[in-house]
Amino acid sequence: MRFQAMAEAGSIPNETVDDEEDGAYAWNFEEEDQWVNVFSFQEEQDQAKNQEIYEIRAQKEQEEVKNQEIEAQDEREKAKNREIALSNLLRNLQLVKERFTSELEIQMKRIEELERQLEEATGAGRNDQPDVEGANPEPQEPYFHSPF
């Protein structure tokens, strides 16, 4: 009824609206230009929102790529640092090995010298001299004087 009254009053030109028709649909037909303007304005807003969403997504993707590049650079630096640390450790181990090898050689020469000195002092290991009687006495039974 209300829309019919508006139509009769001239609000909606040359249009009649019966009670069964949707009211929201009817008021958009006031002028054809206004209908187009409503949709073009809405379309512009939608396009602006879509453009903004696209730009935000593109920015997020760029940030994600940048973060991945930073993480990759960090991993490369960590790997390089590990390689340097392992190289230093290997070099140190080689130096320790060389030092121990040198010390072992010195100690082996010292042992050989001490063994030579021991042989000279005790005469052990020489076969060129005859055994001297009494030098290596045989163990004997204890001597008991028997009254018998």
pLDDT tens digits along 44-71: 888 999 999 999 999 999 999 999 999 9
4-49 tens-digit pLDDT: 544 555 555 544 545 445 555 555 555 444 555 556 778 888 899 9
d(CA 82, CA 74): 12
In the DSSP assignment, the letter for residue 128 is S
> What's the mean pLDDT in 117-137?
67
Q: Identify which of 34, 9, 7 has the alpha carbon closest to the alpha carbon of residue 23.
A: 7
Q: Tens of pLDDT along 61-118? A: 999 999 999 999 999 999 999 999 999 999 999 999 999 999 999 999 999 999 999 9
Q: Which residue has the tokens 């000195």?
A: 117
Model pLDDT, residue 42 = 83
Q: In 116-138, which positions are buried (b, 16+ CB within 10 angstroms) versus exposed (e)?
A: eeeeeeeeeeeeeeeeeeeeeee
- The answer to whether 1 and 19 have CB atoms below 8 angstroms apart is yes
- Alpha carbon distance 12, 32 (integer Å): 11
Gyration radius (Cα) of the chain, Å: 56
